[in-house]
Amino acid sequence: MKTFLALLFLSALSPLLSAQKPNILVFYLDDMAWAQPGAYGGKLVETPNMDSIASSGVRFTNGYSSGCVCSPGRVGLMTGRYQARTGHDANPTREGRELLLSEKTIAQHLKPAGYTTGLVGKWHLGDTSAEFLPQARGFDFSMGTVGNLGEGKGPSFYRGSELLKELEGEPITSPIYAREACGFIESNKDKPFFLALSFNAVHTPHVASPKWLEKFKHLEKRTGEYAAIIGEADEAIGTVMTKLRDLKLEENTLIFCISDNGGASPISEQMGLRGHKWFVWEGGVRVTWMAQWKGHVPAGRVVNDPVIQLDVLPTALAAAGAEPLKVDLDGVNLLPLLEGKQDKLAPRELYFRFGVQHAVRQGDWKLVKASKDMDPMLVNLATDPGEQKDLSTENPTKKAELQTLWEKWDASMQPPRWEDRRWNGEEQRKPNKKGNKKTKQKEE
């Protein structure tokens, strides 16, 4: 009888224990410049919903992605590990370039802790067979694009384990993803969930709904289209946030809003950072980085400590009270910093590698080599965020120290498994029949 009563008590207590686990939601923007949201100083278009996450939580001024292009950054987000550990330096374009099956995703880490897991939007980690799609990588629900819109000749979309050639409403996907995300949240409102909403915006093609194009019709056409796709993505974030509030889930949800790499468009607002997507300059790797958890994370804080997308997974696991699977993680748990229990992160280096390019940041110092033939350059980001002045001559010891750190780290990684000819930042152009230089390789 005592055993029966104990089991009955545990059964009754189980939903309460489950409810204590926070939901975890990641908004992941594509190719959005670090200063694009209004909270970072962006002026082109108002972003009230992204700004609300900053005002309700923490805005990081030195937030990073370990990748300066799409897929490598996503490897880091999904695994909490540097993509260089598996030589995944560039975007996948064919068989053999998928996220290795030996790598475990954040969904696979969270499921043993009782989480229902969802991915809505861009995957870009392999679609050559069902075993590489999200459904086989720990996600209970998944739909979106396998890569970039209009990329390749095969199916561009997926739902579960099925590849689809078309998705109703595409190529305008932000409102579709908002609807699908809200459906997932509604279906799982009574149990802890993890959801990644991975936008196609603001990657090309810059397409948006008529109402958003109308809103910016006073701008030059290309600028208006770019502004519209940002505005529509922000609206989608607002739609999802409204669903959380309507279901009274916002206070029990740890929310991240991050971009996958630096800005790609010449219109993007970089606020003086050097470079852009495709480079390990700050403009290619410093990104929008915000976090909110009402009741746990004090509102309106601005934190200057460098953080990286690798930190999302260990932070989510800590919030969930979950242990990581048996794998070495490169990110750190940010919860003590987010909650104000810790003033500073412990000192660490952040590493960036894109084929022939590399960089390492230690405190305010950064060693950067942004092309094959460039000599590594030493900069101090506190005094020179635009990376204009090489301090190598004045600080040879610091340069040597960072170079040694880089070489040791790189030796512990796997070499790039395939080559991307654009590693040197060069537009690969082929002459057309008339001898003129033609279109560059399709942006990935």
pTM: 0.92
pLDDT of res. 93: 81
Contacts 24+ apart (CB under 8 A), 47-53: 47/230, 47/231, 47/234, 48/234, 48/238, 49/234, 49/235, 49/237, 49/238, 49/241, 50/234, 50/237, 50/257, 50/288, 50/290, 52/238, 52/241, 53/27, 53/237, 53/255, 53/257, 53/290, 53/291, 53/292
pLDDT of res. 10: 41
Q: For the chain, which domains are there?
A: 20-338 (3.40.720.10), 349-424 (3.30.1120.10)
pLDDT of res. 223: 98
pLDDT of res. 153: 73
User: What number of CA atoms fall less than 13 Å from residue 260's CA on the CB side?
Assistant: 27
pLDDT in tens, 191-228: 999 999 999 999 999 999 999 999 999 999 999 999 99
pLDDT of res. 429: 35
Q: Which residues contact 44 (CB under 8 A, 6 or more apart)?
A: 36, 223, 226, 227, 230, 267, 269
Contact criterion met (CB below 8 Å) for 310 and 290? no
Q: Which residues contact 32 (CB under 8 A, 6 or more apart)?
A: 201, 202, 230, 233, 259, 263, 268, 287, 288
H or E, element range at 303: strand 301-303
pLDDT of res. 426: 57
pLDDT of res. 431: 38
pLDDT-flagged residues of the chain (< 70): 1-19, 425-444
pLDDT of res. 250: 98
pLDDT of res. 407: 98
pLDDT of res. 12: 45
Contact criterion met (CB below 8 Å) for 229 and 36? no
Query: What residues are labeled active site?
Result: 70, 124
d(CA 350, CA 368): 12
What backbone phi and psi angles, to 5 degrees, belong to 370?
-105, 10
Annotate 238-248 with b (16+ C-beta within 10 A) or e (fewer).
bbbbebbeeee
